[in-house]
Amino acid sequence: MKQVKFIFMIIFISGLFFTSCKKDKKPTITVEFIDGSGGWYGDTVKLNITVSSEENFTVNITNDHDSQSFQENYASGSTTITYGYAIPNDLAEGDKVKITIVATNNESLLSETVEKEISITNEGTGETIVHEGTITADETWSASNVHVVEGTFYVSGCTLTIAPGTVIKMNAGSAMYIGDEPNSKLIAQGTDSQPITFTSGLSEKNPGDWDRIYFDSGTLSSSVMEYCVVEYGGGDDYYNYMLGLRECEISIKNSTFKNSASRGIAVMYLANLSTFTNNTVEECSSDLMSLEPNAVHTLGTTNTFNSTTQGIMIDAKSSSTFSLQNATWYKQTVPYILNDYLEIESANGSTLTIEPGVTIKIQSGFGIRVGDGEQGALIAAGTSSQPITFTSANSTVAAGDWEFIAFFENSINTSKLDYCVIDYAGGDEYYDYAVLVKNCEIKIDNSTIRNSASSGIVLDYGAKFLSFTNNTIENCATYLIEIEPNAIHTIGTGNTLTTSDYGVYIDDDDYTLLSEVTWPELTCSYIVDGSISIGNENGSGAVLRIAPGASFKFKTDANFDIGYHAAQIFFEGTAEKPITFTTGYNTVQAGQWDNLRFKSNLAPGSILDYCNIIYGGGDSNYQGNIYLNTNNLTIQNCEISNSANYGIYMYNSAAPANSDWQTVNNFHDNASGDWNN
């Protein structure tokens, strides 16, 4: 009985041994290429892969270049798999792709690995086709062939269709022209995995190896470039772009333009883009792109422009006028660059809207003109986090690098600058301002105007602010604002006006408004250089209030002439915030300005309260800091001092309306006396 048990034990152990040996055996793999181990773009290199295994097994196939892969489960035994690798067009001749085949037993997890290399060679299964001259009948270019463009190739009155994955080699000096005759079309629609490539035909590629692709006026608008790569062109110094459009419209999507020896893309001579989205433009020696003003809005918002020094040229030299009824310029990843004056106007009215975050760089000697000859509006409304910037195009910036933004008499009153930065303008000695508002109305809010080589803002010929709040104007070579008396009340609140020598210049003109208005306190002084007449011929007169804390600095011979025509004034400061009328010079002395003149048509109830009137009396005819030819003015709580003549000069039996004027005011240092008898 013991012998039987021993024999069974030997058999059992032997079975375990043989079972263990069976499970420890790896799969075997043999690989053979079908029709060669290499190919060119569009070719599929095929392999026969035979796997043998005593267990059920899994086969995984990957490569070291892209995402093409394979995985499948098989029953035990021997299996032959035919696998094809499609050669993508992002490889160069001589490159190699390593294919890795792994077979793994599903129970024991033992595996075997085999690696094979695929060579990239332009002597693949397709033929090399040279394209030159003109085609006038429809053609399709297959990805299985090698396409070479020699010289100038024309697509004339027909359709050229290029299949996904096709590579077009452009020889030195070569170009493709589409549309020299009507009804010409290019359909170049690749895919994400199989883009169409227009590239250099040289083995060592460099920018400028070939010239350009050009769409002329005969191009149909159904032409499209999608999932295309265009590279190493732009080699013609005269036609200084790699892709150009003239008097036509096409769609460009999901494409890349790079390594141009000049501009990447030029949209010119009334050309347009029906679609321009999800494109990348980079590594160009000149502008990444150029467009006429009426085409800029066709740039979508999902493009990537890569450059630290180049931008998108607004080609106003080619066509200077934005004349569309309504359009928006969208934020891109690089600035727009303006190379001439931009005119915004048309007979029916044109409105250009700038999207938040846009930067426009303006070249020396140029600027933006709105509504000069015909109707136009500029709406530049940024946000606190995405301001709109108008600045210098120079690599080293300085005040006066460019000229101005000017709103003329035909500017539509919807124009606005909101959360804008206007920097380094004021470069024209004749048009001496960064912003002009002429005979029109505009809103300017939350904006910064700085580093002007002349004035910040000039309002002229009856111009007014519809709104002017929370702005900063600083570091201007002359005045921060130049404004007419009838527009001063349109300066709103919250503004920061910073200057050491200049302030807000009141233009020498009449104040004639019929309604009651207030001139606000500013963070700088008003500058008066001339005679400001306050009053009008209408019987109701002009009514003017000045806010507490306001400061007026007068130049030689400057004065306020109040009440020659009907007027009423309320110049009412406080003890803490008096209103100041003083000299406009840093080294002060008596008589540096004339006076406040109050004449016979001043209305009763007019008042000077808590005002400082100092360093005047410079006119020998109106001999005082205050000239009085009326009995309708109350003068109280004022400092009247440092006159080169009298403190108050009363003419023709005039006197202040309040009988205590001699005691409730502070007179001192008046050369001829505090008042005349």
More confident residue, 134 or 108: 134
- Residue for token digits 């297959």? 142
Mean pLDDT of the chain: 92
| Confidence at residue 671, expressed as pLDDT on a 0 to 100 scale | 97
- Residue for token digits 């085409």? 295
What would the mean pLDDT of 169-182 be, rounded to a whole number? 97
Strands of 315-454 (E only): list them.
Answer: 321-322, 326-329, 336-338, 342-344, 350-354, 359-362, 368-370, 376-381, 388-392, 405-407, 416-418, 420-423, 433-438, 441-445, 448-450
d(CA 424, CA 401): 6
| Confidence at residue 514, expressed as pLDDT on a 0 to 100 scale | 67
CB 560 within 8 Å of CB 596: yes
| Confidence at residue 123, expressed as pLDDT on a 0 to 100 scale | 56
Least confident range of 327-336, 527-536, 570-579: 527-536
Least confident range of 80-94, 146-160, 359-373, 537-551: 80-94
What would the mean pLDDT of 296-318 be, rounded to a whole number? 93
d(CA 5, CA 23): 27
Residues 317-349 as b or e (16 or more Cβ within 10 Å = b): ebbbbbbbeebebbbbebbbbbbbbbbbbbeeb
Which phi and psi (to 5°) does residue 642 adopt? 55, 40
Q: How confident is the model at residue 89 (pLDDT cuts 50, 70, 90)?
A: low
| Confidence at residue 17, expressed as pLDDT on a 0 to 100 scale | 42
d(CA 197, CA 168): 6
Q: Give percent above pLDDT 90 in the chain.
A: 80
What would the mean pLDDT of 164-192 be, rounded to a whole number? 96
Residues 365-383 as b or e (16 or more Cβ within 10 Å = b): ebbbbbbbebbbbbbbbbe
d(CA 50, CA 28): 8
More confident residue, 144 or 13: 144
pLDDT tens for residues 356-369? 999 999 999 999 99
CB 531 within 8 Å of CB 622: no
**Residue 2 clears pLDDT 60, i.e. is over it:** no
CA geometry: angle at 570 spanning 566 and 572, to 5°? 160
Q: Give percent above pLDDT 70 in the chain.
A: 94
**Residue 8 clears pLDDT 70, i.e. is over it:** no
**Residue 43 clears pLDDT 80, i.e. is over it:** no
The closest of 425, 240, 203, 398 to 318, measured between CA atoms, is 240
**Residue 46 clears pLDDT 80, i.e. is over it:** yes
d(CA 582, CA 535): 22
d(CA 423, CA 431): 16
What would the mean pLDDT of 263-268 be, rounded to a whole number? 96
d(CA 63, CA 40): 17
CB 490 within 8 Å of CB 518: no
- Residue 663 three-state SS: helix
List % helix, strand, coil for the chain (3-state, nearest 5).
5, 45, 45
**Residue 13 clears pLDDT 90, i.e. is over it:** no
| Confidence at residue 663, expressed as pLDDT on a 0 to 100 scale | 97
Amino acid at 267: V
pLDDT tens for residues 371-380? 999 999 999 9
d(CA 584, CA 528): 8
| Confidence at residue 23, expressed as pLDDT on a 0 to 100 scale | 54
Q: How confident is the model at residue 629 (pLDDT cuts 50, 70, 90)?
A: very high
| Confidence at residue 94, expressed as pLDDT on a 0 to 100 scale | 78
Strand order in the sheet with 159-162: 139-141, 159-162, 185-189, 224-226, 249-253, 272-277
Token pair in block for residue 57: 């097994």
Q: Is the dihedral of CA 447, 448, 453, 454 positive or negative?
A: positive
pLDDT tens for residues 409-433? 999 999 999 999 999 999 988 889 9
Q: Is the dihedral of CA 118, 119, 123, 128 positive or negative?
A: positive
CB 58 within 8 Å of CB 72: yes
What would the mean pLDDT of 264-268 be, rounded to a whole number? 97
Least confident range of 42-46, 548-552, 566-570, 650-654: 42-46
More confident residue, 514 or 188: 188
Question: In this structure, are strands 312-314 and 289-291 parallel, antiparallel, or unpaired?
Answer: parallel
- Residue 206 three-state SS: coil
pLDDT tens for residues 487-512? 999 999 999 999 878 999 998 876 77
N-term to C-term CA, the chain: 157
Predicted TM-score (pTM) of this structure: 0.82
- Residue 654 three-state SS: coil
**Residue 468 clears pLDDT 70, i.e. is over it:** yes
| Confidence at residue 10, expressed as pLDDT on a 0 to 100 scale | 45
What would the mean pLDDT of 505-528 be, rounded to a whole number? 88
What would the mean pLDDT of 177-191 be, rounded to a whole number? 97
Could you tell me where the DSSP H helices lie in 135-245?
A: none
Q: How confident is the model at residue 471 (pLDDT cuts 50, 70, 90)?
A: very high
Which phi and psi (to 5°) does residue 471 adopt? -100, 160
Question: For the chain, what's the residue count?
Answer: 677
More confident residue, 12 or 639: 639
Q: How confident is the model at residue 126 (pLDDT cuts 50, 70, 90)?
A: low
